[in-house]
Structure 1
Amino acid sequence: MKRSIYVLIACAYSVLFCAGCGAGKSAGDMSQMTTSVAVETQEVALQPMEQYVSVSSKVSSEQEVSVVPKTSGTVKKLYVSLGDTVKAGDVLFEIDDTEARLQVQQAQASLESAQANYDQNVGGSLETQLDQMQATVDSYQIQYDDLQKELEETEALYEIGAASQSEVDNLKSSVNKAKIQLESAQKQLELNQGSILEDTKKSLQANITQAEASLASAQKQLDDTKVRAEIDGIVGTLNISEGSVVSAQSEAMTLVNMDNLKVSFHVSEDVINQISVGSPVYITVSAVSDEPMTATVTNISEAADSSTRLYQVEAALSNPEGNLKPGMFANVRLVTETKEDTIVVPLNTVLTDNGEKYVFVVDENNIAHKTTVETGLENDTYIEITSGLSIGDTVVTKGQDFLSDGNTVNITNGTTEQETTAEETEQE
């Protein structure tokens, strides 16, 4: 802006000065005088060119955890303050555990009772019953074996006429009865050993398992009275104090990981197919620095938001010095296309007249020539020239708004305004 004002003043001064001189000079002398326009230029060369879209965003954390207790109660002890750094596993606060300890004791007593009942029945009375049944079977077996032996001996005596038929028949009847008693006792023993004993064991074991589960649940409730950090980070918000009541539905605090930050923003369908994971992103967080940070796209949504029809994009940010904070505003420049070697000039170098784009090229005699150009990629700072310029051309980058085709220019690259004024005065 200062340069533009200076050029206007310099031109006006030159015209007035020439008019004053003309009072004592002929028309021929006036025709020899020319007015030069102060400009800045640069030589055309090949350089990389990036086209990008600019969007606004906020810095957020890759890991931000809401700390919600799993049990309700009164906060007995608070170990952290807002902004404190914590490690995963650190105890953040404790809830009064009086009731939880009583529940653990009751559950422990129930387990011990179930175990004692199992030991008494499976290892005690049931085993005794089985031993008694086995003794009965053994007794019937001996009785049966004795009668069977006696029957065999009596049948042998009967063959030689030393025993009667009635004696044989009576013994056979006794053997059959003993056999029935033996088989009945064996079946009873097998029944108790197989189904009754196993069913009793299963029932008693189920009682133990249930008691163990109740104890584990009570122990977990006791453990839950100590609320621990799930991630490394800082305490981002703190909603409790010692003596306050917390519940399993309320957020006690938030933990934010400050090492892994990101920016999340949205782009239209015209942009989404021009980028991919790994595409470069320049992020400026003015609260930290005006210099952009280089990042890359890490995540791209495959579907547009149903209400906005925009696609969400995320880019990761490194935070080695810890200056970045979640919630800070960020300006994001998302690169959509890149060319490595092309002719690029400052954006304001190109002027437009009735749809025609042109620049001013300065020749070796410091004469400015209006030159029509065609353009390609552009961003907030630079624009690509696809035709109309050649490598080595000298193009006007400042002062072109005051030029006409054929004007003489005074190239002031690297000089101050005072130096330029002195030089023009000497020339006049």
Structure 2
Amino acid sequence: MKNIKNLLFVFAMALAAVACNNRPESETTELAVPVSVQNVKKGSISQFINTTGTAKSLYETNLVSEVAGEYLLQTNPATGRPFKLGDKVKKGQVIVVFEDDEYVNGLAIESKKLNLEISEDEYEKQKSLYEKGGVTLRELRNSEVSKTNARYDYESAEIRLAKMSVVAPFSGVIVELPYYTQGTRITTGQPIVSLMSYDKMYIEINLPEKNISEVKIGQEVLITNYTISEDTLIGKVSELSPMISSETRTFSGKLQINNPDLKLRPGMFVKADIITDKKDSVLVIPKNVILTGNRGKYVFVVERNSAADDRRITTGIENKDFVEIVEGLKENDRLIIKGFETLRDNSKVKIIL
């Protein structure tokens, strides 16, 4: 009987061994999760407030005809051809001239100039005589009045004559140039040319009330537009209103943009990133690898035993793509940047490219 019991025990142990050998491998060995990693490094990071607006030229003007006359579009010395849309002009450059002999004759500018010269000579003579006692003070004053009136008459004629030339008041670009046939008589008040100077531009902005303590005059701004996606222009906060709108709960301001190569054009819709904080030589990681749990923010790093370690972290400034790490990581930690979504603490991992 005892031998039979021994045989049954041995048989049961053998069956147990066979059953263990036939279990699926997944029940005895944890599969390694494929992940990608990158070493944590120090770098620079900036924190932004994002806004948008329409770029406007800092200087612009619409010039009209102030006198009537025959329209004569001038030649651009830079191209050797008549001025046209898109041409650059310099301050003081004559773009259009009006000719009207009757108007010029009516100014009598030469006679007014001669009258001024005579009045100046007469005043000098009266002044010399007064010093010698030859004339009274009243006679000297009358001579001075005549000289002054003659100067005003001459200067007024010069101003009216200057209106026959349309002159660029600042250096800029021709953005509108209505067509008139050369020699056609133009009346007063007709549009002649529109100029813009947009090597410096500005945009008007409205920001939420919560940002009023963060945004300050002089802060640097990064300007982008989809047509110049490879270029980032630099601007600054130039004006800020201290008032909060009771209707929109926003405050207004202006951003000035440096546009030396004229890549940004007036009227373009732009994105502006106002830099409110910036740090150099700090630990920076991608923002999308950070997870949030009951104990706060955490990321996964790979330990030497190829296991995932969930690290609780404290973050600093951040932007759309990156975050500063204040605590929880150190330089050259192997941060898991792909495959972390299903990991748990101490999960086995396999590093792939």
TM-score when normalising by structure 2: 0.73
Contact 1:44-1:345 within 8 A present in 2 as well: yes
Q: Given the alignment of the two structures, is residue 319 of structure 1 paired with residue 260 of structure 2, yes or no?
A: yes
**Offset, 1:93:** 0.8
Distance, in Å, in 1 between the alignment partners of 2:204 and 2:289 is 34
**Offset, 1:202:** 4.4
Match of 1:362 among 278, 290, 302: 302
RMSD between aligned alpha carbons?
3.7
Q: Given the alignment of the two structures, is residue 219 of structure 1 paired with residue 158 of structure 2, yes or no?
A: yes
Counterparts in 2 of 1:356 and 1:240: CA distance versus 1, 3 Å? same
Counterparts in 2 of 1:373 and 1:208: CA distance versus 1, 3 Å? closer
Distance, in Å, in 2 between the alignment partners of 1:246 and 1:379 is 58
Q: Given the alignment of the two structures, is residue 31 of structure 1 paired with residue 27 of structure 2, yes or no?
A: yes
1:326-341 to structure 2, matched below 5 A, reads: 326-341=266-281
Q: Which amino acid aligns with 2:91?
A: A
Match of 1:43 among 33, 39, 44: 39
What SS does the aligned partner of 1:88 have? coil
Counterparts in 2 of 1:390 and 1:274: CA distance versus 1, 3 Å? same
Q: Which amino acid aligns with 1:238?
A: L
Distance, in Å, in 1 between the alignment partners of 2:187 and 2:208 is 43
Distance, in Å, in 1 between the alignment partners of 2:42 and 2:68 is 70
Q: Given the alignment of the two structures, is residue 91 of structure 1 paired with residue 30 of structure 2, yes or no?
A: no
1:80-229 to structure 2, matched below 5 A, reads: 80-105=83-108, 108=111, 112=115, 194=136, 199=138, 202-203=141-142, 206-207=145-146, 209-229=148-168
State percent identity of aligned pairs. 23
Match of 1:238 among 158, 177, 189: 177
Q: Which amino acid aligns with 2:170?
A: I
Q: Given the alignment of the two structures, is residue 274 of structure 1 paired with residue 269 of structure 2, yes or no?
A: no
Contact 1:77-1:94 within 8 A present in 2 as well: yes
**Offset, 1:26:** 1.2
Contact 2:69-2:99 within 8 A present in 1 as well: yes
* Offset from partner CA, 1:85-114 (integer Å, 9 cap, x none): 111221111234334313212883797599
Distance, in Å, in 2 between the alignment partners of 1:104 and 1:251 is 24
**Offset, 1:216:** 2.2
Gaps of 5+ in 2: 1-20, 75-82
* Offset from partner CA, 1:367-396 (integer Å, 9 cap, x none): 223333232221100122333323332222
* Offset from partner CA, 1:292-326 (integer Å, 9 cap, x none): 34x25262335447676424142432434x43323
What SS does the aligned partner of 1:287 have? helix
What SS does the aligned partner of 1:51 have? strand
**Residue 134 of structure 1: aligned partner:** none
Gaps of 5+ in 1: 1-24, 128-189, 414-428
**Offset, 1:65:** 2.8
Q: Which amino acid aligns with 2:89?
A: V
Distance, in Å, in 2 between the alignment partners of 1:110 and 1:47 is 72
Contact 1:89-1:229 within 8 A present in 2 as well: yes
Distance, in Å, in 1 between the alignment partners of 2:257 and 2:281 is 28
Contact 1:104-1:215 within 8 A present in 2 as well: no
**Residue 53 of structure 2: aligned partner:** 57
Match of 1:252 among 178, 185, 192: 192
Distance, in Å, in 2 between the alignment partners of 1:259 and 1:253 is 19
Q: Which amino acid aligns with 2:31?
A: T
Counterparts in 2 of 1:246 and 1:312: CA distance versus 1, 3 Å? farther
What SS does the aligned partner of 1:335 have? strand
Distance, in Å, in 2 between the alignment partners of 1:291 and 1:355 is 42
**Offset, 1:199:** 4.2
Contact 2:313-2:327 within 8 A present in 1 as well: yes
**Offset, 1:223:** 1.4
Distance, in Å, in 2 between the alignment partners of 1:288 and 1:114 is 60
What SS does the aligned partner of 1:108 have? helix
Counting helix residues as a fraction of each chain, which structure ranks higher? Answer: 1
What SS does the aligned partner of 1:254 have? strand
Distance, in Å, in 1 between the alignment partners of 2:306 and 2:168 is 71
Counterparts in 2 of 1:224 and 1:367: CA distance versus 1, 3 Å? same
**Residue 80 of structure 2: aligned partner:** none
Contact 1:100-1:218 within 8 A present in 2 as well: no
Contact 1:373-1:385 within 8 A present in 2 as well: yes
* Offset from partner CA, 1:221-263 (integer Å, 9 cap, x none): 1111101112222102224534474645x65332223443455
Distance, in Å, in 1 between the alignment partners of 2:109 and 2:301 is 94
Match of 2:337 among 379, 392, 397: 397
Counterparts in 2 of 1:305 and 1:75: CA distance versus 1, 3 Å? farther
Distance, in Å, in 2 between the alignment partners of 1:229 and 1:110 is 27
TM-score when normalising by structure 1: 0.62
The number of equivalent residue pairs is 313
Distance, in Å, in 1 between the alignment partners of 2:284 and 2:96 is 60
What SS does the aligned partner of 1:405 have? coil
Distance, in Å, in 2 between the alignment partners of 1:257 and 1:93 is 19
1:366-385 to structure 2, matched below 5 A, reads: 366-385=306-325
Contact 1:368-1:405 within 8 A present in 2 as well: yes
Q: Which amino acid aligns with 1:255?
A: L
